[in-house]
Structure 1
Amino acid sequence: MLKAVFFDIDDTLYDTSGFAKLARKAALNMMIDAGLPLDSTEAYKLLREIIAQKGSNYDKHFNVLTKTVFGEEKPLLIALGMINYHNVKFALLRPFPRTTSTLINLKSKGYRLGVISNGITIKQWEKLIRLGIHHFFDEVVTSDEIGFEKPHHRIFEVALSRMGCTPEKSIMIGNKFSEDMMGAVNAGMSAILVNCKLTPEEEEYIEKEKLDVKVISDISELNEIL
């Protein structure tokens, strides 16, 4: 019988991609109104290039953007962008529908709940707190803290150790084939993918290897599976 259920955060518990896009565009529009000499399409394209280069956890994307455009950082534009980004982000930050009720149900069944996430520890905790679900989790394990990112087996091993669980009695819930599913399977765990569109090659691999993996379209389906 399963004892521990681990979750990814971004695009598993809430719509990271959707809200981030809206928040970034709102921030850029504010910067354009204040003097950034780009139209919205140009600005968003440049920002995405910077994010791809620096990584999503880098905290000075707007600094790089203004330096790229002007040859130097523009503190006023940076501050306007950051403030508007965070204001919009926090206004939109909500768990996916039925996420909270699913977590309540799993806790009521006696499962221990944990998080395994690639990201900066403080930022991941901030997300869980602002989503209003941090109190459901017994352990939160991040790549920032461990020094290894999913799908590396080490981050899963540390999470299992902290929860006092064996791989055979644990399951990973996430949205990424490689990071979440393959990482968990290679650590000896089973996995469930949610909000994930598998490629034909990925579907074939799961079937061929007879992996202990399920794919669901809504997190509330966990109530029937677990």
Structure 2
Amino acid sequence: MRYKHIFFDLDHTLWDFEANATATLQELYAEYALDKRGIPSFETFYASYSVINDKLWDRFRKGFINRNELRTKRFSMTFLDFRICDDKLCDDMGARFIEVLPTKTALFPHATEVLDYLRDKNYPIHMITNGFEDTQRLKMKHSGINDYFTHVITSESAGSLKPHREIFDYAMKLSSTTAAESIMIGDTLDVDILGAQQAGMDQVYFAPDKRQEGIQPTYTIKSLHELKEIL
């Protein structure tokens, strides 16, 4: 086998973040009766939240804001779009989101099938994620994939964020492997794929919907099932 160690991203690659976040926010929209606070529909709330959350995650990866700022600002800035200024509501929803989200269990099609396949072929499987340690561990536990992974490397444990090379080097050192024997599977070109390239690892770009352009990965797949053709 060309590769000896497999590294996965979690969100948007194995764990269906979009589906799970949508389900969580729908619950919170109803729980906090946001329709009575001047937000006309869940769809308008979610559209605003998604844009703001993506921008804040980009700023977090670049080191401009910290974890707590990310968790609070994504709600306070969303509410400002609807002219709502309520610090307690923002704090309460932020805490509830972190509590509920990791309990959601939606995975991408073929996720457990492919993990079974890789385990049966005796590949050591690891995780490299920019998510927060406690949250990512809970996601994996509730969705039933925790036991597949030998090492789970988060940005907190590594002291570095993808796409920086340091988190990949840390992951390979922890897993006692080299770049030549490793491959990274992720959904974001400028985070997972670029970071793995900078560390000298081959990459699989998981693009189930519209493919991004600009960086050329080693492999591109639309379904996790296609990993069986590579590994």
Same fold (TM over 0.5): yes
Deviations for 1:111-133, whole angstroms, at most 9, x for unmatched residues?
Answer: 11100001211111111111101
Partner of 1:20: 21
In structure 2, C-alpha distance between the alignment counterparts of 1:70 and 1:81, rounded to whole Å: 15
52 and 219 in structure 1: CA distance in 2 versus 1, 3 angstrom threshold? closer
- Is 1:214 matched with 2:214? no
Structure 1 residue 4: deviation in Å? 0.2
**Match runs of 1:7-156 below 5 Å:** 7-32=8-33, 35-40=36-41, 43-44=45-46, 47-48=49-50, 51-52=53-54, 54-55=56-57, 58-60=70-72, 64=76, 68=80, 71-74=85-88, 79=92, 83=96, 89=101, 92-156=104-168
Per the normalisation by structure 1, the TM-score is: 0.80
1:164: how far off? 0.4
1:99 and 1:61 mapped to 2: Cα distance?
32
Question: When the two structures are aligned, how many residues end up with a matched partner?
Answer: 216
| Cα distance between partner residues in 1 of 2:27 and 2:16 | 17
SS in 1 for 2:168: helix
Per the alignment, residue 178 of structure 1 pairs with 190
Alignment deviations for residues 136-160 of structure 1 (CA, whole Å, 9 cap, x no partner): 1010111122221111000000000
Structure 2 gap ranges (5+) = 61-66
Superimposed CA distance per residue, residues 161-206 of structure 1 (whole angstroms, 9 cap, x where no aligned partner): 011001000000001111111111110110001135334x42xx52
- The residue type equivalent to 1:51 in the other structure is N
Q: What is the distance in 1 between the residues matched to 2:102 and 2:161?
A: 26
Return 5+ residue gaps in structure 1 as ranges. Answer: none
- Could you tell me whether the CA contact under 8 Å between 2:114 and 2:225 is conserved in 1? yes
Q: Secondary structure at the match of 1:38?
A: coil
Report % sequence identity. 28
Q: Is the 8 A contact 1:67 1:73 kept in 2?
A: no
Q: What letter matches 1:115 in structure 2?
A: M
Q: Does the 8 Å contact 2:104/2:143 carry over to 1?
A: no
